[in-house]
Every structure is written in C-alpha cells, then in structure tokens.
C-alpha cells in the first residue's frame, strides 16, 4: 500500500513537472516571440525615420536650389521692365518693412520709388478741418460724410499733384518721404486692423475707400499687395475697388508679379485661392 502510494505520488509529481515545464516553455516562447516582434517594429520605425529624414533633407535642398534659381533669375526677368517709371507707395496703416520690399522689387526694373506715404490709422476731423480752411472740407468736423470725398481728392492728388493734399498732409499722414505728383503707378499695402470705436472705424474705412478710388480714377496702374503670411487678407478689398493685386510680395515670384502688373498686366496674382495665377501670362513694358 505504501509502495503504491509512493509510486502514485511520484507519477503525479512527474506529470505536474511536465505540465509546469510545458507551460513555462510556452511562456518563454511567447516572450521570445513578443520580443522579436518588438525588435522588428523598432527596426521598421527606425527605417521609416531615416527615410523621412532623407526626404526632408532632399526637400530642403530642392527648396534652397529653387530659391537660388529665383534669386538669379529675378533681375534677368524684370530688368528694364519699368524704365524711368515713377512709382508711389501708399501704406494704409504703418508697415516698417514694406518700403524695403518694394525697393528690392523695383531695383532691376529701372523704376524709381518716388514717395512713401503712411496714412494715419485715426481720422482727426478737427485737424483736417483746420488744415482744409478755405475749401469745402473745412466743414468736415461737422459733416463727416465728407471724409470719403476728401480721401478721393487726396488719392487723385497723390498721383497728379495738387494743393489740398499738401494742406492736409501732416494731419492725414503719419509720415511722408518724397513728393507727390507725376506718377506712372502706385502700390498700396493695407492693414486689416481697425479702431475699436465704431465711429472711428467708419471714418477710417471711408477715408481708405476714398483714397483707393481716387488713385484708380487717375488711370495709372494701381496694385494692392500683401505678404504671403498675412492672416487677414485685403485681396478682396482691393478687388472690390478695381485694384490688381499680388498676395505674396515678400517672395520673388510676388515681386516679379508686382513689376509685371505695373508694366501693364491686370489681375490677381500669387498663391492664395483667389489668385488667377502665380504670374501674369504676358509681360509688357511701361508706357
């Protein structure tokens, strides 16, 4: 009886050992399988990262090459397109970097930037009335509906010259470098910011609208411009006032489009959805 029990216990122990061994073997095998899968995944991810890094480096290299080509081609494309043309820059809102961008764009073309005018962002009715003494605009403080017409007259005289714009210059403008009159073209850059006060915002909108319409009425080429990264675009505003436009003037393609528009092409150019093309299809010369 004792021998049988001992034998039975021995068999049970062996069986249990076999089961435990089997389970441990399966577990160890699973761990090795999982570990192998993890290693394969790591290797795959590393390969993907290396491929992405390579693609990024190649894209940057292509971009640098394109920029170098554009820099080299720009003066060739725009050379002499605007011989002796007199161009004005009107800033509807301050923008310190705009004059340098425009000068760089015009430099190969043969055009001269003859004035840069920065229009104030607040309409001072009392100051304008004082400066406009002897004209019907002396009543502008009591009759703000004259703001639009004053802006129109100012826009016309910026291009053609005249006494009124000289009289109101210090009140109308934040700054002026150069002289008005005898222009072949005008570039307009507009800030989309507006005063918080509704009455001030209305007067500023009327003034800017009048200036734009006055510039266009003279018949010279007028083009509205903005930077590619502008969050609040003014392209629609330019279009509604019959200005051609360039939405990426800080890029070489935009600078070229600006020169070509001033040379005689019309339309909306750049990289926004509203643009009809990156560049005008035909490039002419100044009249």
Type and span of the H or E element at 195: none
- Give the domain ranges of the chain: 1-78, 83-269
pTM, to two decimals: 0.78
Bigger pLDDT: 112 or 39?
Answer: 112
% of the chain residues with pLDDT over 90? 66
State pLDDT tens for residues 260-280.
999 999 999 999 999 999 999
* Least confident interval from 12-26, 27-41, 102-116: 12-26
* 8 A C-beta contact, residue 209 and residue 216: no
The SS3 call for residue 72 is helix
State the pLDDT confidence band at 68, using cuts at 50, 70 and 90.
Answer: low
State pLDDT tens for residues 181-209.
999 999 999 987 888 899 999 999 999 99
State the pLDDT confidence band at 287, using cuts at 50, 70 and 90.
Answer: very low
- The sign of the torsion formed by the CA atoms of 173, 105, 237, 218 equals positive
Distances 86 to 18, 78, 140, 147, 182 between C-alpha atoms, Å: 99, 16, 32, 28, 7
Q: In this structure, what DSSP letter does residue 108 have?
A: G
* Least confident interval from 67-76, 86-95, 103-112, 254-263: 67-76
Mean pLDDT of 132-142: 96
- Predicted local confidence at residue 57, as pLDDT: 74
Q: In this structure, what DSSP letter does residue 277 have?
A: B
Q: Quick one: fold of 83-269?
A: Rossmann fold (3.40.50)
Q: Provide DSSP, 231-269.
A: SS--HHHHHHTT-EEES-TTSHHHHHHHHHHHTT--SEE
Bigger pLDDT: 230 or 41?
Answer: 230
* 8 A C-beta contact, residue 142 and residue 203: no
- Please say if the pLDDT value at position 29 is more than 70: no
Structure tokens belonging to residue 279: 């560049």
State the pLDDT confidence band at 25, using cuts at 50, 70 and 90.
Answer: low
State the pLDDT confidence band at 226, using cuts at 50, 70 and 90.
Answer: very high
- Measuring CA to CA, which residue among 276, 280, 287, 274 is closest to residue 257? 280
| Whole-number average pLDDT of the chain | 86
């Amino acid at each position: 009886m004792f021998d049988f029990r001992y034998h039975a216990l021995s068999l049970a122990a062996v069986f249990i050992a076999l089961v435990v061994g089997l389970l441990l073997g399966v577990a160890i095998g699973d761990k090795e399988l999982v570990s192998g899968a993890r290693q394969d995944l790591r290797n795959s991810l590393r390969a993907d990262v290396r491929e992405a890094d390579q693609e990024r480096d190649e894209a940057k290299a292509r971009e640098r090459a394109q920029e170098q080509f554009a820099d080299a081609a720009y003066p060739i494309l725009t050379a002499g397109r605007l011989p002796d043309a007199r161009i004005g820059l009107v800033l509807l809102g301050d923008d310190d970097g705009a004059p340098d961008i425009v000068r760089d764009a015009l430099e190969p073309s043969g055009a001269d930037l003859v004035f840069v005018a920065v229009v104030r962002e607040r309409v001072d009715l009392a100051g304008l009335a004082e400066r406009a003494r002897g004209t019907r605009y002396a009543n502008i403080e009591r009759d703000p509906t004259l703001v639009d017409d004053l802006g129109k007259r100012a826009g016309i005289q910026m291009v053609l010259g005249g006494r009124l714009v000289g009289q109101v210059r210090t009140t109308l403008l934040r700054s002026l470098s150069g002289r008005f009159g005898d222009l072949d073209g005008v570039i307009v850059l507009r800030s989309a910011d507006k005063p918080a006060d509704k009455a001030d915002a209305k007067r500023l909108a009327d003034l800017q609208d009048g200036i734009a319409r006055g510039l266009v009425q003279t018949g010279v080429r007028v083009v509205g411009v903005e930077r590619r990264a502008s969050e609040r675009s003014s392209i629609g505003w330019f279009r509604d006032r019959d200005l051609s436009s360039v939405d990426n003037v800080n890029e070489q393609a935009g600078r070229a489009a600006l020169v070509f528009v001033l040379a005689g092409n019309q339309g909306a150019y750049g990289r926004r959805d509203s643009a009809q093309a990156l560049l005008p299809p035909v490039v002419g010369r100044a009249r």
